[in-house]
Every structure is written in C-alpha cells, then in structure tokens.
Amino acid sequence: MNSLNLNRLTIKRALELLDEGKISSVELTQACLERIKKIDPEVKAYLYVNEEWALEQARLADEKRKAGEHGKLLGIPLAIKDNILIKGHPTTCASKILQNYIAPYDATVIRKLKKEGAVFLGKTNLDEFAMGSSTENSAFFPTKNPWDLERVPGGSSGGSAVAVACRMGLGALGSDTGGSIRQPACFCGVVGMKPTYSLVSRFGLVAFASSLDQIGPFALNIEDTALLLKVISGHDPYDSTSAPREVPSFTQILQENANTKFRVGIPKEYFEHELHPEVAKNIEEMISLLKRLGHEVKEVSLPHTKYAISVYYIIAPAEAASNLARYDGVKYGLRVEGKSLIEMYKKSRAEGFGREVKRRVMLGTYALSAGYYDAFYLKASKVRTLIKQDFLKAFEEVDLILTPVSPTPAFKLGEKTSDPLQMYLSDIFTIPVNLAGLPGLSLPSGFTRESLPLGVQVIGPHFRDDLVLSLGYQIEKELDLETIPPIVKAL
C-alpha cells in the first residue's frame, strides 16, 4: 500500500491491515507524522508533537503484535486535546498560565487508551481552557478550517477536529462543555460524539465547568467513533460523578440495529431561531431521508430551549471561576512576582489568562457573589432542571431527537471575536444537551454551495449512546459522503 495513503485509513481498516501483517504501526505512525509536517504549518492543529516518542510507542505496538498480544487500538495513532493529561508531557490548555506545565499523571482515558495499545502523536490546539467556539481564543495561535483557511474550525476542540479531518491522526479525543466536540466536528466534516455525562471519566481532564464537561471521540466514521467510545468509557473510582454501569459493545450494537426503525423527534423550538438557508435545507433533507428509511418522524416540544444560552452562561462561568481559582501563581503554572501575595496573585492571573477566560471568570464570580447567588446561579440551576425535564418528557414520545448542530456553516476567522454574544449563540443547539447531561452526536450530512461541511445532530436519552450511534450509522451509510478537505486532496 502507498505509504502516503496509510494515514487516510479508518481505524477499523488499519487494524485489519495490522493484524494481517500488511502494514506496521511504525509505517502508519510515520505516515501521520509526515502528514503533520506537510499540512500542520497551514492549519495549525497541533500545539505539541513528539515524533520520537510516537515512533517509540509504534515500535512497541509492533513488537506486542508479533508476540501475539492484542489491544483494541494496538498501534493506532491518535491526537489528544491539550486539556487532557498525559504523564510527562505538556498540558497547556492553550493558556500562558500553563505554558511550561508537565502533567504528573495520566488522565483515566489516557490510561485506558494505553492499555489498548494506542499511539499518541501529540496534543492539539483549543480555545484557552476550552472557553470558546472557534479555537481563536488559544493563547498561541488560531487553528484554521481545512475546507477554507480563512474560516474557523469551530471550538473549543478545533485542533482535534482538524487533526482528524486532515488525516493527521486516525482519531482524536476532545472535550465538550457546551458543544466543543460536536460543533468543530460539524465545521470540519468529521464525526464527533459527546457521551452521556458520567459515562466517561473526567479524571485528568483540566476542569472548566465540572457539571457539564465530558471527554469524547472524533473519528472519520461512526464505527471508529463507537470503538473509541467503548475504550474510554466505564466506571472510574477517581471520578465521583462516574456512573457504575456496564459499557455495551457499541460496534456490535451498530450491526444489530442496522435496520431498526426509530421514532425520531424534531424539536419545533430549534426552528424558531434564524437558520442559515443551507443549514435549513440540509436538515429538511435529513428529515426526508429518515422518512425514506422507514423511521417515524414527529414534532416534539422543548419549551425551555430559549433559556439555554442564558442558563449556560451563568452556570459554566460560575463553575469556571471556582475551578480556575487554583491558578494563582503559587504551586504551578505562571508566577509573576509582586510586592505582596495579593499583588502576585493579580499579576500572575492578569498575565496568564486571556480575555475570554477573564470575561468568564468575572461573570462567574459576579453570579456567585453575596446577594446575587439566589438571583442568578440558583435560578439558573432551577431552569436547568426544567430543560432536562423537557427532554425527559420528549423521550416518552420518541426514541431520539434530530437537530442541526450549528445555525450556520463555519464562519470567517475574526468575524465574531468582537461580539461575544454572537459567538455564544453559535452553540444554541448544542448547549441544551450538556445542561441535560445527554449523549449527542454530530455527523457529516452534506455541503454548502461553497463546499463547506454541514452536520446533523442526533440526541438520545441518558445512557442510550448506543441508539444515538445506531441512527448515525444508518444515516452515514445512506449518505456515503466523501469528506476529504481540499488541503488534503492537494497533497
């Protein structure tokens, strides 16, 4: 096989070729590293690549395979968002305050991936501390969309989405607090999954908003996504919110449900927002597709949707203000000396945090301050419960819900940076899923006239990640889209 095309393999196909002895993990990893050297200077997906370490892991994987050992991801090169800890390697969260921080331990998801033989290529760019929808808030540089270098890749997991879209890794991990896996997956033409809250351990994920954050996979197709999700899921005693549940074989369920007919809800409130004409047309085509496949499609109501953005931007900043209090210049990270302890705190945080992080810390601190807690945080928490109840009620009538991922296709770099509210509204369709703790999937569903990817979102009940993936699998098979960005085709 042409070594230049090895990195275009799906995880499933790569594993078959590795098991057959037709390729080696070293060849596969080398192909990804070569692609990174060629494409990454243009798109800037990676913050850190360790070529020597990646090849060392690949050589070890080849030796294990020869010795008869098998891991679910043995020898598969992956990219990891730089807010997930890998022991002995940098974890910056794309922030100056953690610029020289080296992780002292592995995140649970990393331990699970290591156990199954995955190869780590490096760490990917993100909005600082995962706060953003465009990967423009990175303290180091913005990441660019491989379909149009003048556009954003989405955020905050933009680097991971671009790494997979550009075949600079066969899969990737990101984190999703309000759409940070699904929106960049949509903008970059790949699959992205936000699992049910508590299905995947958050231990070793640098916290932004602890009641909303979830780690999830990016991949080229649903089968690879299902495999990655299976590996990283499961109960973890190090995470007090982790659910003590058996994890099903998601890949096996895809085949079992290949012809299952579902009741699919279309929330009328999601169409009361201004949709880009091509997004609206695409979602109508997806509804027609579901009907053609024999699924029952009906309208459902999620009446509290209109409050989701307001609720999110009280709860998430409040939790962020609490979580980010630890970055004070004392124990780790950036330290700027001052004449007093308070001055040292002020200078370290003023220089270490970017504008968006400061904005959210101030919003959160205000919402939690004496006299305002009841008016803001407590009320937001109550409305969050109503949003969750809306979904629970809808799922009494339907098995799954279908929505757009974003109101628009990928927007231009710099287009929304001066208007935070417009940027926040990019996540109007993804945020309710995090507030309710539900599983949500973004999968490619077509293109605009300008050849920009479009995506559709499948939402399921708690712990029915299997059903979400199953419907996604049916749609994917029917569409059979080729999603190779121009920059990849050119090389």
Percentage helix, strand, coil, to 5, in the chain? 45, 15, 40
Task: Indicate which residue of 24, 180, 442, 470 is catalytic.
Answer: 180
* Euclidean distance between CA atoms 69 and 183, whole angstroms: 37
Q: What is the 3-state secondary structure (H, E, C) of 308-357?
A: HHHHHHHHHHHHHHHHHHHCCCCCCCCCCCCCCHHHHHHHHHHHHCCHHH
Task: Indicate which residue of 156, 157, 198, 470 is catalytic.
Answer: 156
In angstroms, how far is the first alpha carbon of the chain from the final one?
Answer: 17
**Structure tokens belonging to residue 164:** 């997979």
Decide if 24 is catalytic. no
Decide if 180 is catalytic. yes
Sheet holding 440-447, edge to edge: 46-49, 119-124, 77-81, 171-176, 214-219, 191-194, 440-447, 453-459, 400-404, 263-267, 296-300
* Euclidean distance between CA atoms 168 and 162, whole angstroms: 8
Between the alpha carbon of residue 453 and those of residues 19, 163, 228, 337, 411, the distances in Å are 33, 16, 23, 47, 12
Task: Indicate which residue of 72, 81, 112, 144 is catalytic.
Answer: 81
Torsion angle of C-alpha atoms 276, 279, 281, 286, degrees rounded to 10: -160
State the DSSP string of 174-197: EEESSSTTHHHHHHHTSEEEEPPT
Decide if 157 is catalytic. no
Q: Give the type of residue at 18.
A: L
| Residues labelled as active-site residues | 81, 156, 180
